[in-house]
Structure 1
Amino acid sequence: MEKYLPILAIMSFLVSTCSAIVCVGMPDGVYETNCQAFTRCVGGETEIVNCEGETAYNQETKQCQRKWDVPPPCGTYRECSDLKDGFYPDMETNCHSYYICVGGAFLGHSLCPAGLVYNRYQGVCDYNYNAPPPCGINATAAPGI
């Protein structure tokens, strides 16, 4: 069971991120949450849609599709075999997304809200003036500086 705790922690993070959108007072539509799920608002009601199996959220079509048909970052695989468990900024998206590695396996991407970058030292999406390089511009934000 202990070997599954990191995976359970990450999955609960992803689900809790999804449920953060409340549709009361919001226009009907699809609201992106991360690459594994999205929120659909209809008449103020919230519906969380999880992308199952080999699917990911497609920002263009606003639905779950096969990962290989989804444009970056959600459809992109990252190599994790040499990385420690954790969250990593995706440099190919200029840190506007990050990916998750557990036990040498790639679990998927998550997206930062518009205008934010992944701050690897804080473990959150943040403004670039708060985040250290290479994602941000704050050279004093990194530990040990």
Structure 2
Amino acid sequence: MLTGLLFTLLAYVASADQCIGKSNGVYEVGCRSYVVCHNQRGVIHNCPDPPATNTVFNSRTKTCDQPSNVPAPCGEWRDCTGKTDKRYPDLFNNCKSYYTCHGGVYFGHNFCSPGVVFDESMQNCNWPQNVAPPCGTWGTGRRRR
């Protein structure tokens, strides 16, 4: 129940401003969700869309799809069984994205804004000089701010 409530709350917060300044259409929110914008208002949809299971958003088809049909990072499914509830960096993507595990459930990949990387210790995206390796350069001669 908590997982469903968390997902609903995140969807509400995300839909509040996802469509401001955008044309009508379908836009990726994260690898497991997308927003349908109409007249600057949005409705969040989450993958999987029944009856499919374990699907991710395919930005080419604008639908939920099997991970094998979607390029990385979204097509890279993660097993969250036994993992601590938190966000994890996508090391193969130079930490420009991350994925979330909660209650053993994989909640998909999300992207950092251009120029920043995922900071696992802070659980958010941050400037590379403020993030410890392997995602950033902090401690390699540069000071953390």
Shorter-chain TM range is: 0.7 to 0.9
> Which string of whole-angstrom CA distances, capped at 9 and with x for unpartnered residues, describes residues 92-142 of structure 1?
11111112234555443222233331111111122323322211222255x
Between Structure 1 and Structure 2, how many residues are aligned? 137
Unmatched tracts of structure 2, length 5 or more:
none
- Residue 47 of structure 1, CA deviation: 2.4
> Which string of whole-angstrom CA distances, capped at 9 and with x for unpartnered residues, describes residues 35-81 of structure 1?
11112223322222222232111233333212232221112123445
1:109 aligns with 2:109: yes
CA distance in 1, matches of 2:40, 2:95: 32
Aligned partners of 1:100 and 1:106 also within 8 Å? yes
Q: Give the structure-2-normalised TM-score.
A: 0.72
Q: Could you tell me which amino acid in structure 1 is paired with residue 14 of structure 2?
A: C
| Shift in CA distance, 138/61, structure 1 to aligned 2, threshold 3 Å | farther
Q: Give the structure-1-normalised TM-score.
A: 0.72
Across the aligned residues of Structure 1 and Structure 2, the Cα RMSD in angstroms comes to 2.7
| Shift in CA distance, 39/95, structure 1 to aligned 2, threshold 3 Å | same
| Shift in CA distance, 113/91, structure 1 to aligned 2, threshold 3 Å | same
Q: Could you tell me which amino acid in structure 1 is paired with residue 99 of structure 2?
A: Y
Aligned partners of 1:57 and 1:74 also within 8 Å? yes
Aligned partners of 2:16 and 2:42 also within 8 Å? no
Q: Could you tell me which amino acid in structure 1 is paired with residue 61 of structure 2?
A: T
1:48 alignment counterpart: 44
After TM superposition, the structure 1 stretch with the greater mean CA deviation from structure 2, 18-27 or 124-133, is 18-27
- Residue 8 of structure 1, CA deviation: 5.0
CA distance in 1, matches of 2:101, 2:20: 34
| Shift in CA distance, 118/49, structure 1 to aligned 2, threshold 3 Å | same
Aligned partners of 1:29 and 1:41 also within 8 Å? yes
1:118 alignment counterpart: 118
2:96 alignment counterpart: 96
Tell me the percent identity: 36
Unmatched tracts of structure 1, length 5 or more:
none
